[in-house]
Amino acid sequence: MTTDKLIPRVGVGVLIKNDKNEVLLGERMGSHGAGEWCFPGGHLDFGETIFDTAKRETKEETGLDVDEFELISVADELKYIKTDNKHYLNIGIMAKYRGGEIVLMEPHKCREWKWFNLNDLPERMLEGTQLIIRNYKAGEIYQQT
């Protein structure tokens, strides 16, 4: 593959907190980052806003409805360039959880969804999710690495 065909993608990750201040993470399978935990999210579609992406991807992956979106992070996700030829501009969105039961909507992509305390997260996390959490905890939208 030649470098002129490699282009960055825009990924949106959605930080959803419940009333216990826990965040929702899913264990990835089958694609880059398999075995790593991540927020619901996915690619920005052409003509879609980042908030539209956050709402759509959360519904597609978890069955949950979310609203009251806030931009909390913009980050350069570069970890997977050498292993998977993937470079992402990662956008972190915080969304309000409105209740409902989590449904494993894409079992071929995600092993399970689970709530985690922000101070007791799994060791293996997708880089984009790590960056969103880092920026969120620091109260900064962008930090150069």
Q: Is residue 46 part of a domain?
A: yes
Per residue in 38-94, pLDDT (tens digit) is 999 999 999 999 999 999 999 999 999 999 999 999 999 998 899 889 899 999 999
7: helix, strand or coil: coil
Q: Is residue 145 part of a domain?
A: no
- pTM (2 d.p.): 0.93
pLDDT value at position 1?
44
DSSP 35-76: T-EE-SEEEPPTT--HHHHHHHHHHHHH---EEEEEEEEEEE
Per residue in 83-114, pLDDT (tens digit) is 889 899 999 999 999 878 999 999 999 999 99
Return the CATH number at 102: 3.90.79.10
Query: In the chain, how many domains are there?
Result: 1
Q: Is residue 106 part of a domain?
A: yes
Q: Which of 24, 11, 13, 12 is nearest to 62 (CA)?
A: 24
92: containing domain: 3-138
